[in-house]
Structure 1
Amino acid sequence: MCNTVKVSPRKLDPEIRTALVDIAARLLAEHGAQALSTRKIAAEAGTSTMAVYTYFGSMSGLVRAMVHEGFARLERQFARVRQTDDPVADMLVLGHAYRHNAKANSHLYAVMFGGQSLAGFSLTEEDRQYGRYTLLTVVGCVTRCIEAGRFRTGDPLLIAHQMWIATHGLVNLELGGYLIDPVDADRCYDTLLSSLIVGVGDDTKASAASMRASRRRRRREVEAEPESVAHRS
């Protein structure tokens, strides 16, 4: 739960804005749309209901901010993945970065792809572009894999979509608790990503070597908390 912070809604504070977004998304994830009220959100933030309107204009604006913040955090997670001389390992780390971000921000993840049904909110093309923009990181990595001769020549955008669709589906199953015991989630991700990589042309032995390299990198580039980012929840 976010720490209670007293603030005048007239003072625009990015930390308070982020806290309101996180609180609203958590209430939504835990209790459903009926919990999404200015009174409940303001009470948990330790401020007045006017703060919601000061920062977001409306409840619909708050839902839009949840979508944007969710994709912004995903983009920051992707930015932590280094570009190396093994672009396939980079791709594998990106796949786990997507998963890690979804688990760390599950309250926002639930809104990023379905917020159109909340508070009269409807996604615009500009809103969707926030999500599409994050895919460009994957497209760039696919392009490097093709140029390195690891992937067969093809459409980088199409391959990136295939990666996104498959990873997104497995993330949803994991977050929803639908993986059947004793299936291990980590093993599922490694198997899925390996299959995707080989499926677009990588050599099996080379793919296995890149997988080993990616495992060594995940703790530092994906799982470790960035020192510059305060933990707010």
Structure 2
Amino acid sequence: MGDRSPATAPESVPERLIRATVGLLAEQGPSAIKARTVASATGLSTMVVYSHFGGIPELVRAVVDHGFAELGDAFGQVPATDDPIADLFALALTCRRIARENPHLYDLMFGLSTRATYRPLESDVRLSGHSPAFRTAHARVTDACARLVNSGRVGKQEPEIVAAQLWSFVHGYITLELGEHFIEFDNAVMQVLLPMGVNFAVGLGDTRALAQASHERAVRLYDSARPVDSSAAGRE
């Protein structure tokens, strides 16, 4: 009778600290990530941060892993259809949404910015893209690329290389958009990201007409699945 189910069990102290840090990033940016502010946000003592993580750099690493776990979960919610090009663009739109929900967390996840007092070590593979959470998220992209290659819509090539190319152009777009480099466009997704995706698919071997139709289908499906999302692709 005294056991709690996983669904109702309270968060552990490390989980509380991680979520508090994620919230501080969203509200105030990386400069707010200090032991004192994180502890205050959780109602715990400063020493709790050190006893559970050892220090702020280790807490930041845990927060980065949390971000990639959430990204992987979001990717997992994207259904696999009989249109692999549309599925890949749906993953791109999902990644964009996650980045826009907490840009500072996204920056930390991809090493675009760090706290002024913290820099990842070159030997730190956890922040160089090799943590289990990162691998799980990236594997969903690679699997989708494998389905594309096996579909016959593009030429035969290594799915891992296709995934790296897709990862590069999608995150390049997101980075520039978050930096407000596309404010002159009425709808940057439709005017910049979608055409870039079409060009990418054509470069892989798809026909332009099919690639265009698949990307437009992905936008319609994405928007219909998120009717109250102010960052939905087709409304920006």
Residue 213 of structure 1, aligned match among 188, 210, 217: 217
Deviation at 1:223, TM superposition (A): 7.5
2:181 is equivalent to residue 178 of structure 1: yes
Q: TM-score, normalised by structure 2?
A: 0.79
SS at match of 1:142: helix
Q: Counterpart of 2:232?
A: none
2:139 is equivalent to residue 136 of structure 1: yes
What is the percent sequence identity of the aligned residues? 30
Residue 125 and residue 14 in structure 1: after superposition, are their counterparts in 2 closer, same or farther (change >3 A)?
A: closer
Q: Counterpart of 1:169?
A: 172
Deviation at 1:219, TM superposition (A): 3.0
Q: TM-score, normalised by structure 1?
A: 0.79
C-alpha distance in 1 between matches for 2:76 and 2:228: 14
Matched residue count: 212
Q: Counterpart of 1:77?
A: 74
Name the stretch that deviates more: 121-130 or 169-178.
Answer: 121-130
Q: Counterpart of 1:229?
A: none
Cα shift readout 1:94-118 (whole Å, capped 9, x = no counterpart): 1111111111121211111224974
Residue 221 and residue 135 in structure 1: after superposition, are their counterparts in 2 closer, same or farther (change >3 A)?
A: farther
Q: Counterpart of 1:99?
A: 96
8 Å contact kept, 1:100–1:223: no
Residue 193 and residue 138 in structure 1: after superposition, are their counterparts in 2 closer, same or farther (change >3 A)?
A: same
Residue 55 and residue 21 in structure 1: after superposition, are their counterparts in 2 closer, same or farther (change >3 A)?
A: farther
C-alpha distance in 2 between matches for 1:120 and 1:208: 41
Deviation at 1:17, TM superposition (A): 3.0
Deviation at 1:192, TM superposition (A): 1.5
Deviation at 1:159, TM superposition (A): 1.2
C-alpha distance in 1 between matches for 2:226 and 2:199: 21
Q: Counterpart of 2:118?
A: 119
8 Å contact kept, 2:67–2:105: yes
Q: Counterpart of 1:22?
A: 22
8 Å contact kept, 2:18–2:62: no
Residue 129 and residue 220 in structure 1: after superposition, are their counterparts in 2 closer, same or farther (change >3 A)?
A: farther
SS at match of 2:142: helix
C-alpha distance in 1 between matches for 2:218 and 2:26: 32
Q: Counterpart of 1:203?
A: 207
Q: Counterpart of 1:51?
A: 48
8 Å contact kept, 1:74–1:98: yes
8 Å contact kept, 1:70–1:105: no
SS at match of 1:119: coil
1:146-161 matches, within 5 Å, as: 146-161=149-164
Name the stretch that deviates more: 58-67 or 176-185.
Answer: 176-185
C-alpha distance in 2 between matches for 1:198 and 1:118: 44
C-alpha distance in 2 between matches for 1:43 and 1:158: 45
Name the stretch that deviates more: 155-164 or 215-224.
Answer: 215-224
Please list every run of 5 or more consecutive structure 1 residues that lacks an aligned counterpart in the other structure: 1-10, 226-233
C-alpha distance in 1 between matches for 2:204 and 2:15: 43
Deviation at 1:27, TM superposition (A): 6.3
C-alpha distance in 1 between matches for 2:130 and 2:226: 24
Which amino acid counterpart does residue 150 of structure 1 have in structure 2?
A: R
SS at match of 1:64: helix
SS at match of 2:202: helix
8 Å contact kept, 1:21–1:65: no
C-alpha distance in 1 between matches for 2:86 and 2:62: 33
C-alpha distance in 1 between matches for 2:40 and 2:66: 21
Please list every run of 5 or more consecutive structure 2 residues that lacks an aligned counterpart in the other structure: 1-10, 230-236
SS at match of 1:152: coil
